Amino acid sequence: MVNLNKEKELRSFLDSVLKDIEEYRGLIKFEFYKNSLVPLDYIIHLYWKENVNINLGSPLFHYIIEGLQRIGLVNHTMWIEEITIGNVRDDKNDVSKDTKNYTDFKNKINREEKMAKKDEIKDTLNTVTRRGFLKAGVSAGMLAAATGLALDLTKKDAEAAPRNLPKKWDEEIDVVVVGSGFAGLAAAAEAGKRGAKVVILEKMPAYGGNSIINGGVYAAWDSKLHLRQKLNLGIDSPKQHFDDTLKGGDYYNIPSLVKNLTEGSADALNWMIEEGGCKLREALTRAGGHSAYRTHTVAEGVGRGFTEPLRKIAEKYGTKIRLNNEITWIWRKDTEGPVLGVEVKTPKGKRNIKIKKALILASGGFSRDIKMRQAYNPSIVPEYNSTNHPGATGECIRFAQAIGADTLHLAFIQLYPFAEPETGILDNPAVYPFNGVGYGLIYVDKNGKRFVNELERRDVCAMAQIKLGQKPTYSIFNEEMVTKMGGTMEEIEKGIAKGRFIKANTIEELAQKLKMPVNNLVETVKKYNQYIKDGKDPEFNKPITKAMIPLEKGPFYAVAQWPAVHHTMGGIRINEKAQVIDIWGKVIPKFYAAGEVTGGVHGSNRLGSNAIPDCVVHGRIAGINAAQEKA
Ligand SMILES: Cc1cc2nc3c(=O)[nH]c(=O)nc-3n(C[C@H](O)[C@H](O)[C@H](O)COP(=O)(O)OP(=O)(O)OC[C@H]3O[C@@H](n4cnc5c(N)ncnc54)[C@H](O)[C@@H]3O)c2cc1C
């Protein structure tokens, strides 16, 4: 497919892409693929199929490839099919056209960045610099809070202005699902299975949202594989999972929604295994805030291992995914009536779709919407990186609010404590610090000292790092732990190759490589090993379990980590049937929501690996109920 005669042209193009990525680091998060798909097509092909070395000595290139891999784009043929569904391009081999697309897009980004910078300066009365923020730690949040930013809906954000219903509808569909992540795919699958004509509208050029790049870890007290029993990892139950989830969310959670999650998670996992062909690794981990070994890792080690089975099931029942279709409004006549339809921006222009049975909002969270973050939680300052895909913005929450939907918990925003420190990406090595703690992995600061109970919740681990006032921190583990924590040696080798994992045969050597005081790290590990043997951690009170391995036998590994904005716990209020509730406490007819766009499931703080079961379980509930609505 690739015309290799054009390699020279391509190389200079790639040079310019990488240079721009250096300059505009936000682009690393794959924003550039939005309008510049073909060059990446070439990158993938040359890198994977033709073995052309286009590394250019930059680790950034690894991020690009890793990112593409994580969102499933390395399968060239499948990707082409996916992309062309959205009619993004016709001519697969015209590099010059693609280069022009890229240049246009680059100019657009430049303009947008400049405008955003201006806005930021104007908005933020007291600018918090990154260095100042790191030094100030928590107080930076208080400083930002003092600036009292609010969501400005008066100018270009005038989404809340009243609008007249469309004079005619361009199309009628039984069930419209907004968003093609876990929640949207699960909803579409269940609605389609019950005979409804279902269309998923997705604004991005590739399906999957945060779900497809996710870390692939899923909390369930059991599954048809019975891994906990097989690996002799103690007891668990839906009630124990329920109690942990409420405690982890500081009891802000809505119990009936937590009940859905914890009682439905095993069945949802079995559904993806049986009907979607989903495969799991033979490992089970205990992660921060969970009191049992219940976190399952998907075979692919990335969310795609779940989205592909879900997509397969949804498409089997007739669902069509329309890429590059962005919802720009939800139509409702008055505060009593049902949702009537949606306005959609498509590559061919604006269209209005009438909804016959129901609208299901599964549009995800708003971690990448800096203005919205600031409006609801000023402590989440713009300087934070984010683990999320660029489409994680909150416009659909505002559209729902504008037609009467109630929202809750919008101020609860989670930092992932272990993201790649410079970019905020949650790549495969960044999942190890999360998965390893139940097997003895520890966190240390730059002085080689532990600073927190590693089995603590994410908010506690993130704040403990920020309060250190020095960046980054490190996770330390050994080879014995790797497969137990759901990792593979292949992943370790890849992580080493791109400079993410640091390997050493002894703790002394590891400290030297990390430029840490050697004696400190040796002393920390010695003490910690003794705690494991004693079954008690007097320093940080980490619950010691039989499954934990002392850090005695090399090789040892380290991975750098730092918090990045990860999950927005708040969102649209739903009841246990996934129906959207209005500000008077009534159901909005024909309107459902599921997944990260909703609030109340996780309370103040989501436990890691609880989001996938939340999305799949509530997506299924929404789909089943939507299909039963009268057309
Ligand atoms: C890097 C990363 C790793 C994670 N790892 C884990 C993990 O291992 N385990 C776990 O439990 N949780 C994890 N999470 C959290 C979890 O992945 C998310 O909460 C989950 O994917 C949300 O799914 P969703 O279906 O609600 O939304 P998403 O998957 O984000 O999908 C929403 C979709 O809606 C689209 N959309 C938004 N607005 C519009 C609009 N106006 N019009 C049309 N489409 C729109 C978006 O483009 C997006 O594709 C992780 C999150 C991230 C970011």
Residue 470 has a pLDDT of 85
Number of H helices and E strands in the chain, helices first, is 22, 18
User: Assign residue 201 a region: left if phi > 0, alpha if psi is -120 to 50, beta otherwise?
Assistant: beta
Q: Candidates 272, 324, 363, 387: which one to mutate for ligand 1, based on the most atoms within 8 Å of Cβ?
A: 363
Provide the token pair at 85.
């569904």
CA nearest ligand 1 atom 4, residue: 214
Please tell me the distance between residue 276's alpha carbon and the centre of ligand 1 in angstroms. 19
Atom number of ligand 1 nearest to Cα 213: 1
Pocket flag, ligand 1, residue 181 (CB < 6 Å): yes
Cα separations in angstroms, 82 against 76, 79, 86, 313, 467? 10, 5, 7, 16, 44
Pick the residue whose CA is nearest to atom 8 on ligand 1: 215
pLDDT of residue 544: 96
Q: What are 478-507's pLDDT values in tens digits?
A: 999 999 999 999 999 999 998 999 999 999
Residue 625 is which amino acid? N
Ligand 1, atom nearest to 179 Cα: 34
- CA–centroid distance, 159 to ligand 1, in Å, is 23
> 388, 384, 410: which is closest to 397 by C-alpha?
410
What domains does the chain contain, in order, with CATH numbers? 4-113 (no CATH), 173-369+569-627 (3.50.50.60), 417-565 (3.90.700.10)
Is residue 311 annotated as part of the catalytic site, yes or no?
A: no
Q: Which two tokens stand for residue 471?
A: 């960046």
What is the mean pLDDT of the segment spanning 8-24? 53
Q: Is the CB of 66 under 6 A from ligand 1?
A: no
Cα of 392 vs centre of ligand 1, distance in Å, is 7
- By most ligand atoms within 8 Å of CB, the mutation choice from 28, 82, 180, 210 for ligand 1 is 210
Rounded to the nearest whole angstrom, what is the distance from the C-alpha of residue 165 to the centroid of ligand 1? 30
For ligand 1, the distance from its centroid to the CA atom of residue 413, given in whole angstroms, is 14
Query: 295 in helix, strand or coil?
Result: strand
pLDDT in tens, 161-176: 568 899 999 999 999 9
User: CA 388, CA 194: separation in Å to the nearest integer?
Assistant: 33
236 in Cβ contact with 228 (< 8 Å): yes
Q: Which residues pair with 443 in a beta bridge?
A: 475
Using the atom order of ligand 1, give the atom closest to the CA of residue 325: 43
- Other C-beta atoms closer than 10 Å to the C-beta of 117 total 10
Instruction: Express as a percent the part of the chain with pLDDT over 90.
Output: 72
Q: At residue 64, what is the residue type?
A: I
Identify which of 445, 461, 463 has the alpha carbon closest to the alpha carbon of residue 453: 461
Give yes or no for residue 244 CB within 6 A of ligand 1.
no
Nearest of 178, 192, 211, 191 to residue 316 by alpha carbon? 192
Q: Residue 66 has what pLDDT?
A: 53
Which residue minimizes the CA distance to atom 52 of ligand 1? Answer: 214
184 lines ligand 1 (CB under 6 A): yes
Round to whole Å and give the CA distance between 244 and 613: 15
- Distance (Å) from CA 211 to ligand 1 centroid: 4
| The pLDDT value given to residue 15 | 58
Three-state SS string across 26-47, please?
Answer: HHHHCHHHHCCHHHHHHHHHHH
| Cβ proximity of 247 and 235 under 8 Å | no
Q: What is the pLDDT of residues 331-386, one digit of tens each?
A: 999 989 999 999 999 999 999 999 999 999 999 999 999 999 999 999 999 889 99
Say whether pLDDT at 152 is over 60.
no
Q: What is the pLDDT of residue 127?
A: 29
How far from chain centre, in Å, is Cα 195?
31
Q: Are strands 349-361 and 587-593 parallel, antiparallel or unpaired?
A: parallel
Q: What is the SS3 assignment for 461-528?
A: HHHHHHHHCCCCEEEEEEHHHHCCCCCCHHHHHHHHHCCCEEEECCHHHHHHHCCCCHHHHHHHHHHH
**Rounded distance between C-alpha atoms, residue 617 and residue 611, angstroms:** 10
Q: How far is CA 393 from CA 311, 437, 509, 596, 608, in A?
A: 23, 32, 44, 11, 21
Measured on CA atoms in the order 600, 339, 311, 388, is the torsion positive or negative? negative
Please name the residue whose Cα sits nearest to atom 41 of ligand 1. 327
Antiparallel, parallel or unpaired: β 407-408 and 217-219: unpaired
- Looking at ligand 1, which residue's alpha carbon is closest to its atom 3? 214
Q: Is the predicted pLDDT of residue 89 greater than 90, yes or no?
A: no
Write the residue with the smallest CA distance to atom 33 of ligand 1.
179
- Confirm or reject: Cβ of 170 under 6 Å from ligand 1: no
387 lines ligand 1 (CB under 6 A): yes
Mean pLDDT of the region 548-565: 97
Q: Distances in Å between the alpha carbon of 532 and those of 288, 289, 375?
A: 17, 19, 44
Mean pLDDT (the chain, rounded): 82
Distance 18 CA to ligand 1 centre (A): 27
Ligand 1 centroid–CA 492 distance in Å is 26
Q: What is the pLDDT of residues 185-227, one digit of tens each?
A: 999 999 999 999 999 999 998 899 999 999 999 999 999 999 9
Residue 130, H or E segment:
helix 130-136
Residue 528 phi/psi, 5° resolution? -65, -40
- Ligand 1 atom closest to the Cα of residue 566 is 53
Q: How far is the CA of 2 from the centre of ligand 1 (A)?
A: 32
- Max CA-CA distance within the chain? 75
Tens of pLDDT along 116-142? 555 444 433 322 222 222 222 222 222
| CB neighbours of residue 197 within 10 Å | 17
Residue 469's pLDDT band (cuts 50, 70, 90): confident
Q: What does the buried/exposed string (b/e) look like for 456-469 if buried means 16 or more CB atoms within 10 Å of the residue's CB?
A: bbbbebbbbbbebe
**What region, left, alpha or beta, does residue 578 occupy, with left being phi > 0 and alpha being psi -120 to 50 degrees?**
left
- Output the six-digit token pair for 34: 């939005």
Quote the pLDDT of residue 16: 57
* 319, two tokens: 């669902």
For CA atoms 20, 22, 27, 33, the dihedral sign is positive
Q: What is the pLDDT of residues 260-278, one digit of tens each?
A: 999 999 999 999 999 999 9
For 222-229, which contacts have Cβ atoms below 8 Å and span 24 or more sequence positions? 222/266, 223/266, 223/269, 223/270, 223/273, 223/280, 223/296, 224/270, 224/273, 224/274, 225/273, 225/280, 227/280, 227/282, 227/283, 227/284, 227/296, 228/284, 228/292, 228/293, 228/294
Q: In this structure, which amino acid lies at residue 391?
A: G
CA 272 to chain centre: 19
Question: Which SS3 state, helix, strand or coil, does residue 190 take?
Answer: helix
Q: Is the CB of 217 under 6 A from ligand 1?
A: yes
CA-nearest residue, atom 38 of ligand 1: 363
Q: Is the alpha carbon torsion for 584, 586, 592, 596 positive or negative?
A: positive
Closest C-alpha residue for ligand 1 atom 35: 179
**Catalytic choice (458, 500, 573, 620):** 458
pLDDT the model gives residue 498: 84
- Of all residues in the chain, the percent with pLDDT exceeding 70 is 74
Question: For 75-98, what is the mean pLDDT?
Answer: 34
Task: Return the minimum-mean-pLDDT range out of 43-52, 77-86, 454-463.
Answer: 77-86
**Helical segments of 358-436, H only:** 370-376, 395-402, 432-435
Q: Dihedral of CA 92/97/99/100: which sign?
A: negative
Mean local confidence (pLDDT), 50-59: 42
Q: Look at phi and psi of residue 170 and say left if phi exceeds 0, alpha if psi is from -120 to 50, else beta.
A: alpha
For residue 24, is pLDDT > 50?
Answer: no
Q: At 298, phi and psi to the nearest 5?
A: -75, 150
Task: List helix spans (H) across 277-408.
Answer: 304-316, 370-376, 395-402
Whole-number pLDDT of residue 20:
54
Question: Which tokens go with 312?
Answer: 């397969």
Asked if the model's pLDDT at residue 281 lies above 50, the reply is yes
- CA pseudo-torsion sign 42, 44, 49, 55: positive
